[in-house]
Amino acid sequence: MIYFRLATTRTLVERFSRCLRPHGYFFMGHAETMSNISEQFVRLQHKGGFYYRRKEVAATGGASIRERPELPFVTKAEAPVAGQGAVAPPSAAAGRDVPADPDVLLREGELAFAQENYKTASQKYAMLLEINPQHAAALLGQGFIHANQEDYPAALACCERALHADDLCAGAYFLRGLIFDHQGDLDAALVEYRKALLLEPGLIMAHYNLSKIFWRQARIDDARRELNNTKRLLERTPGETQIPYSGGLSRAVFLEVCREDMSRSAGLHRHL
């Protein structure tokens, strides 16, 4: 469905939802997400895959409904060793052949994460950290896995370690902003997103998340500015690109989301 226009995708999802049995499951591809498409479903995860159920059904089974900005979901069982910023111990890679080039492990970890194979991603990052305990990208990857399981103290500790290794790691500031955003500390999130953008002005999701914060703070002009920044960057992005940190949104779908948000903000601005 990532190849359809946003309005078409929403129509299809609505029709599919009417066909579901009361306790039925809705499966999507690993590159697809309900973010900005439907509010009727909650995402659940089992081992290496995920699926959706209606919110009212999932809630009766004890599943938590997540607030946006959406994070890819991972279960406790597939997360790194629990604790404050813990990563897998050195024994995790015992008996394995470790590639001589750490870049190989990093690419494998990032690919596994992109495919939502979080267990493998965590293992690859842990193996890389055995070679270099101060590898900022691996620490950031582990931080995202902790954050996705809502272990925010561990995720923040990973960010701290990543920034200690490389204080120019824009992704670590972005992840801290995302965590504070989820926790409702909008002022702290604002600071972290801005730090990320100082280091990486083209970080699309930082601009977009800033627009959401400004919207919630009724700072309409600021929200519209950041939406314009998001739209401008998306228009410069190659057509088939999936936007980093967006939960799998394609450029085309994200552009439609931005245009809808801009239309709503313009309507509100006229009534102020």
Residues 118 and 112 sit within 8 Å (Cβ to Cβ): yes
Indicate the domain borders of the chain: 1-65
Contacts of 249 (CB under 8 A, 6+ apart): 33, 35, 36, 242, 243, 257
State how far the Cα of 75 lies from the Cα of 45, in Å rounded to an integer: 7
Q: What is the per-residue pLDDT across 130-176, written as a single tens digit (0 to 9) for each?
A: 999 999 999 999 999 999 888 999 999 999 999 999 999 999 999 99
Q: What is the rounded CA–CA span in Å between residue 162 and residue 140?
A: 6
Structure tokens at 47: 């081992």
CA-closest candidate to residue 22, choices 62, 56, 45, 66: 56
Sequence-separated (6 or more) residues with CB below 8 Å from residue 17: 26, 38, 40, 41, 54
Which stretches of the chain are assigned E, i.e. beta strand? 41-46, 49-54
Share of the chain above pLDDT 70, in %: 65
Whole-number Å distance between alpha carbons of 218 and 223: 8
Q: Is 51 helix (H, G, I), strand (E, B) or coil?
A: strand
Distance separating alpha carbons of residues 152 and 109, to the nearest angstrom: 21
Q: Which residue has the higher pLDDT, 115 or 31?
A: 115
Strand partners, 242: 250
pTM: 0.67
CA pair distance 138, 20, nearest whole angstrom? 40
pLDDT (tens digit per residue) in 213-247 = 999 999 989 999 999 999 999 999 988 888 998 88
- Are 41 and 55 contacting, i.e. CB atoms less than 8 angstroms apart? yes
pLDDT in tens, 77-107: 344 443 444 444 444 444 455 445 789 999 9
Owner of token pair 């002022």: 187
